[in-house]
Amino acid sequence: MQEHFAAALLFDMDGTLVDSTGAVESLWGVWCERHGIDLLEVIRVCHGTRTEDTVRLVAPHLDAVTETAWLEALEASITEGQRPVDGAAELLAGLPQERWAVVTSAALPVARMRFDYCRLPLPEVLITAEVVRHGKPAPDPYLLAAERLGVPAKDCIVFEDAPAGLAAALAAGCRVVLVGNHVPAAPGVIGRIADYREVRVEAAGGGLSLRLPPGSQVE
C-alpha cells in the first residue's frame, strides 16, 4: 500500500463522497427545459463548480442570483439519484473531527440534505458555496478549510473528482487523490481510487497516515 502523511484530509462532496450524478443532472435538466438551454453544455461545465458560477457561464442573459436561489431550493428537495460512495461512511466515522473537512461547491442546505440522506457523518468544518467569495477552480475553498482546521494547506490531502476541484486543490498547494476516472492525473496527484473500501487512515505523529490500496498509483 502507498503511505502518505497529512495534517488533515479535505473531501469534496458530489462525486467524491456522494455519487449524486443522477440528482445533479436531473436538476439541471429541469432548469434547461425551463429556459431552452442545451443540457449537454451545462453538464460539461457544472460538475465541481458553484451553481451561481455555472449559471453566469451558460446563461449570462439571466439573473444569476434569482436563478441560483430557484435551483438550490429545488436541489435541496431532490433525494433520488444519490448514494454514498462505497466505504465513505466507514472512513469518515473513524476520522478525528479536527483532522478532516468537507469542501463543496453546493449550498449548505443541499450539503446537509445529502449527508443526512446518505447517512454520512457531518464534519465540524464544512465549507459550502455561500462562505467563499471565489469558488472552485479558485483555491479559496480549500485554503479556508485548512485555515479553519488550523493546519497549512500544503500539509493537507484532498479527495476530488472534478477538473474544477482538482485545479482548486492544486492551486491551494494541496496533494490530491482522485476519485473515479473523470480527470487526468497532474503533478500533485498522489493516487486514484474507485472508492474508499481499501483506504486506511490512522493517527500518526500529530497528523494522519493515509494508506491507499495497491493499484492506486498514477502515471
Catalytic residues: 12, 14
Q: What is the rounded CA–CA span in Å between residue 17 and residue 33?
A: 29
Residues paired with 19 in a beta bridge: 83
- DSSP character string of 91-114: HHHTS-GGGEEEE-SS-HHHHHHH
- Beta strands 207-212 and 200-204 are antiparallel
3-state secondary structure 173-213: CCEEEEECCCCCCCCCEEEEECCCCCCEEEEECCEEEEEEC
Residue whose grid cell is 447517512: 119
Q: Cell triple for residue 188?
A: 500533485
Q: What is the rounded CA–CA span in Å between residue 127 and residue 147?
A: 11
Number of C-alpha atoms within 13 angstroms, CB side, residue 87? 13
Q: Cell triple for residue 170?
A: 492544486
DSSP 3-state assignment of 118? Answer: coil
Determine contact, residues 18/82, Cβ cutoff 8 Å: yes
